[in-house]
């Protein structure tokens, strides 16, 4: 019997680092959200593999090149290592919406690639995001949808958050990545049914 891989998929901007409308184009523009990196470390130390799945249309728009993306991610990994955390991998979609690819969230291509990489069924894999697009991607891929109120969701009132949750049944809402980690560790890594 194959061992069960405990895997979490995170968005990047608004989850791990502060969201910027003009894209994170260089390491010095990447600022961690307070407590987010420590939350990844806690998950790692409890045996969870953490992978990032992120839309990076700035590449397709010519706003950032691959060398800069790699530099940003190297900086992010270094910051994580400083608090005892790690990411297994960063999967990203470089396309613009006009490219009509299947890897740009809300489509499930990135998550399916992650599932293939790990050889696992995605139905018990939490996907953490801060937008409706993230929740829709989780649903399309068969992942557990989790919305955190950092990043873009931080400015939404309760009615707008509820409207997002209503569009993606089973969504759980957390204040930030630390609260999500607390929730996940509190249930012992066991998948549970949809939120009430």
Note the pLDDT tens digit of each residue in 161-192.
Answer: 999 999 999 999 999 999 999 999 997 644 43
Note the pLDDT tens digit of each residue in 40-80.
Answer: 999 999 999 999 999 988 898 998 999 999 999 999 999 99
Q: Which helix (H) or strand (E) holds 57?
A: helix 57-60
Please name which of 55, 164, 153, 155 lies closest in space to residue 106, comparing C-alpha atoms.
55
Domains within the chain, CATH numbers bracketed: 7-186 (3.40.50.1000)
């Amino acid at each position: 019997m194959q061992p069960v891989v405990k895997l979490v998929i995170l968005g990047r901007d608004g989850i791990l680092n502060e969201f910027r409308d003009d894209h994170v184009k260089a390491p010095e523009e990447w600022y961690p959200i307070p407590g987010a990196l420590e939350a990844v470390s806690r998950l790692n130390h409890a045996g969870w593999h953490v992978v990032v799945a992120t839309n990076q249309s700035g590449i397709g728009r010519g706003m950032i090149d691959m060398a800069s993306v790699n530099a940003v991610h190297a900086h992010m990994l270094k910051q994580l290592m400083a608090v005892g955390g790690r990411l297994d991998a960063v999967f990203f979609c470089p396309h613009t919406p006009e490219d009509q690819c299947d890897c740009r969230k809300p489509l499930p291509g990135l998550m399916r690639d992650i599932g293939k990489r790990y050889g696992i069924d995605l139905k018990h894999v939490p996907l953490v995001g801060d937008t409706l697009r993230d929740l829709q991607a989780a649903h399309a891929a068969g992942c557990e949808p989790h919305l955190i109120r950092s990043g873009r969701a931080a400015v939404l009132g309760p009615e707008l958050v509820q409207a997002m949750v209503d569009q993606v049944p089973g969504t759980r809402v957390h204040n930030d990545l630390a609260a999500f980690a607390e929730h996940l560790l509190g249930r012992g890594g066991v998948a549970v049914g949809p939120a009430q």
